[in-house]
Structure 1
Amino acid sequence: MFTERTSVGLDVHARSVAGAAIDGVTGELFQKKLPPGNDRILDWVRTLPGPVAVVYEAGPTGFGLHRALTAAGMRSVVAAPSKLQRPSGDRVKTDARDAVHLARLLRLDEVTPVSVPTADQEAARDLVRAREDCRGDLMRARHRLSKLLLRHGIVYDDGQAWTNKHDRWLLQQHLAGAAAQAAFDAEYETVLQVKARRDRLDRAIEGLAADSEFTPLVRRLGCLRGVSTLTGFALAVEIGDWTRFTGNSIGSFVGLVPSEFSSGQSRTQGPITKTGNGHARRLLVEAAWHHRPRYHVGAVMQGRWEQASAAARARGDLGNRRLHERWVRFLERRKRPTIANIAIARELAGWCWSLAVMDD
């Protein structure tokens, strides 16, 4: 239940903040246009009749305001924007009206909060997302280079691309004309620079995964096939508090459950919702493909198992066998591999959850 006297809604933007406060005793509404800055927001909130509870939407401004309000002794709620209720007939949207709407929802306890990470967890998440951005940059840089060569009729057909052998082949290429060669050199240099940046980020993530608060969790997740150190660390920091979920609900959080349109006796399921954390969803989908080949414990898996507890190893082995058997049944039923893989990824999320909430 809402117990504070005043509920405050903040519509926070990069260069302005719209504030609205409702006094639960007098019913008075306070509104103010504030400049950005946590100190200025705190100064205004302190002038309101206390005790005070504050809500604002999660967004690009981060969680610094939440930490400042909490440190000042105020209850702060960071709302999930996709879960906010709004009347269907409300056709006027302004910052001031949004702030009032947030304040009213908070007083009614109709706000769905997000899980707020600690400063260290948020920094680790930023590192993982920087690596994800770098991965995308590298893919685009490689595509640009290969398509430049293709336009000049040069195609690599001596094995897998982007290996050391392919790199030696690239160094031997010389395009006709100074302009074409300059373009090739620029694209190739970009590939090398982005690859070097990705490798630096990989080393930083591996260092954190080996010695941080996430280390036990990463080692337990590594007992599953397809979940390397980088994948396990990314899942750990992206999902954060695993105890918020169950083995069934975590698939919904990462958007791996089918959409549904049902009414009366009609029930129609569509493609997956793709809601929630897209980075975690991509990692799970990629990891699910590793469960299609025949299951055996190789040297890499054995090495990861040696770092985990006996209970985690047993749980991981059980999950690996179960997921491979699911793949076999899907193939026997002639299911499309892409559809089958989504189902495997959804179940894999549940196995990751069971390892994450396990006590060491």
Structure 2
Amino acid sequence: MEKGSTAYVGLDVHKDSITVAYAIDAGDVQLLGKSGVTTTDIDHMCRHLKSKARAVRFVYEAGPCGYDLHRELVQKGFECMVCAPSLIPRKPGERVKTDRRDAAKLTRALRAGDLTAVHVPTVDDEAFRDLARAWATAKEDLRHARQRLKSFLLSHGVRYTGRADWGPSHRRWVSQISFPNRWQQLAFEEHRHTIEDRLAQCSRLEMSLREAVTGWRSYPAVLGLQAMRGVQFTTAVGVLSELGDLERFEHPRQLMAWLGITPSEYSSGSKRAQGGITKTGNSYARKLLVEAAWSYRHHARVSRDIQVRQDGLPKPLIDRAWDAQLRLCRRYRKLSARGKNMNITVIAVARELAGFVWDIGRLAMSLASDRYRTTPPRLN
């Protein structure tokens, strides 16, 4: 029997199994069955499918199983797409969901071209992102641990009269607290030890991240973004590790849409209605940009910290960062003068800030030189 030209294969991937459905050209969708997840099982599945068509195209949903299957299939010479689950077409009223139906649906959607691919990072980019996320998680755990201790003290009537910002004076005050009941004292000490453990973990991860970033291919962009106001090391590394590669965005509007800071819209005929931001895409990168946008509520100026971060950077980057600060500070004041809500104003500034991140990040990568990589400026 003559082979068909193309086999479209939908994979419903789970931790211990893969449900496979396929269709040859415009033929009916057929169920191949379940496959294991080991290399031997995947080799057997690929041989079976390769015997049915000259070309084989795979697709599966992005999920907790990561991109190892994608890399393995691409290494074997197959075309593979990892699609965005939230953008898969769904029929209204569809109430039955099984692995077989999901695999068949992916097969039909792949053949029709109705799927949206997600960006698959390189191995190095994914490894650096894992380290950056571990750091962000440790900082979030530290915040929760501090909040738990504050709640514990408040529930027992212990209040700090100054600003409880966990500065040196606040930490000294916490270290002097004692309770008459030994069980309460034990609970208090456990809360304190948790905070100290999280502080040590954050310190270790930050040191490792600062050492690792100098060998990362996006290191020039990390330095370039720090020339901007409100974008310190934490923000620059967090945003770029989640983006992976700025070159994949051909226009800054694509980056804004990926971050979910563009307005939602429902328009029909002559009517056009816009709502709040879409909040699609990466929530952590969006959070970092919004936090950075708050700094533009003040008048434009180059502080000492910004001067230190700009030390050793090419002049075009410094000039572009100053242009960004002038525009964004003016934007904030203009929207505030119009009576806009403060949160709406900050989101609007964050949207434009994303455009400058796209521009300055790409400019930094293009200006990178051998001296710039081997003699890096000081990270702050």
TM range (shorter): over 0.9
Corresponding position of 2:356:
351
Tell me whether 1:199 sits opposite 2:195 in the alignment.
no
Map 1:100-115 → 2, pairs under 5 A: 100-115=104-119
Tell me whether 1:132 sits opposite 2:136 in the alignment.
yes
CA contact (8 A) 2:5 2:24 kept: no
Tell me whether 1:45 sits opposite 2:46 in the alignment.
yes
Tell me whether 1:79 sits opposite 2:80 in the alignment.
no
Corresponding position of 1:289:
294
Corresponding position of 2:32:
31
Structure 1: which 5+ runs fail to align? none
Which amino acid in structure 1 is aligned with residue 9 of structure 2? V
Q: Mean Cα displacement is larger for which, 99-108 or 305-314?
A: 305-314
CA contact (8 A) 1:258 1:273 kept: yes
Distance in 2 between residues matched to 1:206 and 1:325, nearest whole Å: 33
SS of equivalent to 1:155: coil
Corresponding position of 2:168:
164
Corresponding position of 2:74:
70
Corresponding position of 2:259:
254
What is the Cα deviation at residue 223 of structure 1?
1.5
What is the Cα deviation at residue 151 of structure 1?
1.4
What is the Cα deviation at residue 106 of structure 1?
1.5
SS of equivalent to 1:53: strand
Corresponding position of 2:274:
269
Corresponding position of 1:96:
100
Pair 188,28 (structure 1): closer, same or farther in 2 beyond 3 Å? closer
Tell me whether 1:118 sits opposite 2:119 in the alignment.
no
Structure 1 residue runs of 4 or more that deviate by more than 3 Å after TM superposition: 25-28
Q: Mean Cα displacement is larger for which, 115-124 or 78-87?
A: 78-87
Pair 4,178 (structure 1): closer, same or farther in 2 beyond 3 Å? farther
Structure 1 residues 53-78: Cα deviation after superposition (integer angstroms, max 9, x where no partner): 11111111000000000111111111
CA contact (8 A) 1:42 1:69 kept: no
Distance in 2 between residues matched to 1:356 and 1:155, nearest whole Å: 45
CA contact (8 A) 1:66 1:76 kept: yes
SS of equivalent to 2:252: coil
Structure 1 residues 259-288: Cα deviation after superposition (integer angstroms, max 9, x where no partner): 222233333322221111000000000000
Corresponding position of 2:340:
335
Distance in 2 between residues matched to 1:339 and 1:142, nearest whole Å: 30
Pair 191,28 (structure 1): closer, same or farther in 2 beyond 3 Å? closer
Distance in 2 between residues matched to 1:135 and 1:51, nearest whole Å: 47
Q: Mean Cα displacement is larger for which, 149-158 or 206-215?
A: 206-215
SS of equivalent to 2:224: helix
Distance in 1 between residues matched to 2:27 and 2:160, nearest whole Å: 76
The normalised TM-score by structure 1 is: 0.94
Structure 1 residues 136-177: Cα deviation after superposition (integer angstroms, max 9, x where no partner): 211111111011111111111223420111111111000120
CA contact (8 A) 1:10 1:54 kept: yes
Structure 1 residues 38-96: Cα deviation after superposition (integer angstroms, max 9, x where no partner): 44123212211232111111111000000000111111111111111122243322111
Count residues in correspondence.
358
Q: Mean Cα displacement is larger for which, 241-250 or 79-88?
A: 241-250
SS of equivalent to 1:11: strand
Corresponding position of 1:59:
63
Tell me whether 1:14 sits opposite 2:15 in the alignment.
yes
Fraction of identical pairs, as percent = 38
Distance in 2 between residues matched to 1:13 and 1:342, nearest whole Å: 37
CA contact (8 A) 1:312 1:355 kept: yes
